[in-house]
Structure 1
Amino acid sequence: MSVPAGGQGGSRSLWDMLGVSEAIASATDAARGLGTGRFEMSPDELRSVRADWQAVAEDLDVMKRDAEPLSQVQGPGAEAASEGQAAAANQSGLRYQADLEAMQNYVGSYVAGLDRVIAEYERTDAGRAEVFGRRHGELG
């Protein structure tokens, strides 16, 4: 789905408007690992990425609520032309809402995945700290 880009004759995708394209580009740059072939992020960096994706999820919630009237259009008259136009508008509104819902599901899954990664990272760090503390105590 594309929308006019500020009257410039071009178009921007919904992903661009939500900043998802930037988030993906940023994650892709980070994934390159500066040529090391490795992908590393600190827990704080992961939390920052999660916050960005959560903001996208919240934007999608607002957009979906705002789109509800797009599937409740009524024609100005009771003739076939008005009813046909209203039906077409409603069908388009329903498709738009379905697209937003699909995006919500994707973004929600991504946020949940980040939550799992962050939790695992913290468990691993806590385990290492415990082992280090025991070893340090034995040496001291």
Structure 2
Amino acid sequence: MDKSEEIKRLIIDFENDKISSEKALIEINKLSNVVVDNFSLQTYNSSMDLEMYVRILTLESIADWQEIDDKRAIDLINEILTSTDDDAVLLRNFEALEKRYSKPTGALSDWIFHDDITEANELLLLLKKNTTIIL
């Protein structure tokens, strides 16, 4: 059984009161790429289905985010723009790009979904823009 299926089974067992939240969390956190807490485990289903939750927990993060260059940034932005229904890809790519360009969490998401900026090159320019306030 792959780790996605194992995590899914643990969550279902927890939801069916076959195992405690403590046991579920211990086992899930051994397998997950994201630390899962009790609140997340008990409330994920208010915002997504089980498959998406498991995908978020198991999708590998971008470990070499410091090495992201312009071409790769454009590729990641385009992946965001074409995967707006895949929360796991969105979260992974937002995190890597915002870390790489020292932007606050949510900045890229706001530009895309709030400001309706959907041109990859324009988004890259915003990421690269120095917005540091020097006192």
Structure with the higher fraction of residues in strand conformation = 1
TM-score, length-scaled by structure 2: 0.28
TM-score, length-scaled by structure 1: 0.27
